[in-house]
Amino acid sequence: MVSENAIVIKDLRKSFKDVVVLEGIDFVVRRGTVFALLGPNGAGKTTTVRILSTLLPPDSGQITVNGYDVVREGDKVRASIGLSGQFAAVDEYLTGFENLEMMGQLYRLNLAQSRSRSQELLEQFELVDAAARPVKTYSGGMRRRLDLAASLVAKPPILFLDEPTTGLDPRSRLVMWNIIKELVAGGTTILLTTQYLDEADQLADRIVVIDVGKVIAEGSSDELKQQVGGERLELTVAQAADFERACQVIDGEMLHTDPESRTISLVSKQGMKQFKQILDRLDDADIEVEDLSLRRPTLDDVFLALTGHGAVKEADEEGKAVGVDAR
């Protein structure tokens, strides 16, 4: 059976004892697209991925992956997916090649198939030079790439990536982004979780924002940006002594003020005209503006507007939640 949607979630609920973690989540992922589950620490991203990949049973809700029910047809779901968890699940003491070869055998490929697939993946993920070294000598970025390669041995049509770039440096992030783009171009459906707004912005066709177990917004990156409307004007007051006064002059339209950097940001639905009036008022009050910029809203602004707080980014060690070993 081939359904148009790769993943369908209806009213998914999950609690751990009396702690409610998912409070009725709904979303649909279309085939051949990248879907981002965006949310801060503890939002419920990993819990959702674990339920989708059958590592954890839902309390209630209807959840299908590749047209199969995650509760009743777990085997078929597992045969349809690849999973790269939040914490790399590769074996430290085996080499990169051995890790992939072992994965091939778990998927019942014969030795020749398993070796050729491993070689192919090592080339695709730029790990050929490190293939014969034990993984414990790998950098964080190399481990992540190997972990992702391991989830692709069986060429699954649907891939779950739980925070694929957390902890990576900017270059390694770009490498990972390119790999993800290539996989999608090849027809794979990808659900990824991220705390990084720019990542969702860059990669995802559709974004669901979750916060404390609830969907708080959904749409394409552009649609989400439209929800908070208008351009942002950021201005820096030249003299610290004028900052308070400037805030009073602008009063009513401020979005964010930071006395330390003497910056004020405003959102406007009337655009340039309104900004000009504000600048005129500051000028009349003899307040000098040192720097001025106009920009379109970012996903960060969206998050702030929706949740009242920014997207927290610090790492949170909750243990090895997800591993490919569960198959």
Closest residue to bound Mg ion by CB? 46
In the chain, alpha helices (H): 45-52, 74-80, 96-106, 111-124, 140-151, 170-185, 197-203, 221-227, 243-250, 272-284, 299-307
Interface size with ligand ATP, residues (CB under 6 A):
15
Distance CA 203, CA 184 (A): 10
Determine which residue in the list 19, 187, 284, 286 makes contact with ligand ATP, applying CB under 6 A.
19
Do residues 65 and 81 touch, judged by C-beta distance below 8 A? yes
Distance CA 230, CA 129 (A): 49
Token digits of residue 294: 């106009």
- Decide: is 309 part of the binding site for ligand ATP (CB under 6 A): no
Q: Which does 39 bind (CB under 5 to 8 A by kind): ligand ATP, Mg ion, none?
A: ligand ATP
Do residues 169 and 180 touch, judged by C-beta distance below 8 A? no
The residue among 45 and 225 lying less far from Mg ion, judged by its C-beta, is 45
Q: Which does 75 bind (CB under 5 to 8 A by kind): ligand ATP, Mg ion, none?
A: none
Taking the complex as a whole, how short is the minimal distance between the CB of residue 160 and Mg ion, in angstroms?
Answer: 12
Q: Which does 44 bind (CB under 5 to 8 A by kind): Mg ion, ligand ATP, none?
A: ligand ATP
Token digits of residue 226: 């439209």
Q: Which does 134 bind (CB under 5 to 8 A by kind): ligand ATP, Mg ion, none?
A: none
- Decide: is 316 part of the binding site for ligand ATP (CB under 6 A): yes
Close Cβ partners of 1 (under 8 Å, ≥ 6 residues apart) = 67
Do residues 312 and 40 touch, judged by C-beta distance below 8 A? yes
Q: Which does 244 bind (CB under 5 to 8 A by kind): Mg ion, ligand ATP, none?
A: none
Stretch binding ligand ATP (CB under 6 A), from 39-47, 138-146, 241-249, 285-293: 39-47
- Decide: is 64 part of the binding site for ligand ATP (CB under 6 A): no
Determine which residue in the list 24, 32, 42, 219 makes contact with ligand ATP, applying CB under 6 A.
42
Residues near Mg ion (CB under 5 A): 45-46, 86
Distance CA 124, CA 112 (A): 18
Give 117: exposed, middle or buried? Use CB within 10 Å, 0-12, 13-18, 19+: buried
Determine which residue in the list 36, 44, 131, 262 makes contact with ligand ATP, applying CB under 6 A.
44
Taking the complex as a whole, how short is the minimal distance between the CB of residue 288 and ligand ATP, in angstroms?
Answer: 43
Q: Which does 19 bind (CB under 5 to 8 A by kind): ligand ATP, Mg ion, none?
A: ligand ATP
Give the position of tokens 């041995």.
153
Determine which residue in the list 27, 35, 38, 47 makes contact with ligand ATP, applying CB under 6 A.
47
Q: Which residues pair with 237 in a beta bridge?
A: 289
Distance CA 147, CA 90 (A): 6
